[in-house]
C-alpha cells in the first residue's frame, strides 16, 4: 500500500467512524482515536462484505457499501463503548 492509500484509508475511516458514532444514540465513552480505529476497521470489513454482495462497484456513489460500513462502525462504537463502561 502506498502512502496515499494509507492516508486515504485513515481519512475515510475517520469519516466512517464519525458517521457510525452519530448513528448511535446517547453518549459514547470512547475517544476520537478509538472512533477512527473503529471506522478504519469497519471500512475495510464493509468493503469486503460489499464486494461479496456485489454492491461495491457501481456507477456513481456506492451507497450500499457506505451503508454497510456505517452500520459496522455503529456496531463497533457501541460494542467498544459498552466494554469501556464495564471497566
- Please report which confidence band the pLDDT of residue 38 belongs to, taking 50, 70 and 90 as the band edges: very high
Cell (9 digits) for 6 = 494509507
Distances (CA, A) of 13 to 16, 22, 85, 86, 87: 5, 14, 24, 26, 26
Q: Could you tell me if 72 and 46 are in contact, meaning their C-beta atoms sit under 8 angstroms apart? A: yes
User: Where does 1-87 show beta strands of DSSP type E?
Assistant: none
Alpha-carbon dihedral angle through residues 25, 31, 35, 37, given to the nearest 10 degrees? -150
- Please report which confidence band the pLDDT of residue 74 belongs to, taking 50, 70 and 90 as the band edges: very high
Q: What is the pTM (predicted TM-score) of this model? A: 0.84
**pLDDT beyond 60 at 63:** yes
**pLDDT beyond 80 at 56:** no
- Please report which confidence band the pLDDT of residue 87 belongs to, taking 50, 70 and 90 as the band edges: low
Amino acid at each position: 500500500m502506498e502512502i496515499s492509500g494509507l492516508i486515504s484509508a485513515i481519512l475515510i475511516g475517520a469519516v466512517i467512524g464519525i458517521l457510525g458514532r452519530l448513528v448511535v444514540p446517547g453518549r459514547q465513552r470512547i475517544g476520537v482515536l478509538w472512533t477512527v480505529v473503529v471506522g478504519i476497521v469497519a471500512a475495510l470489513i464493509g468493503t469486503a462484505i460489499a464486494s461479496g454482495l456485489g454492491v461495491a462497484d457501481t456507477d456513481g456513489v456506492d451507497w450500499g457499501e457506505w451503508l454497510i460500513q456505517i452500520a459496522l462502525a455503529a456496531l463497533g462504537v457501541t460494542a467498544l463503548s459498552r466494554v469501556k463502561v464495564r471497566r
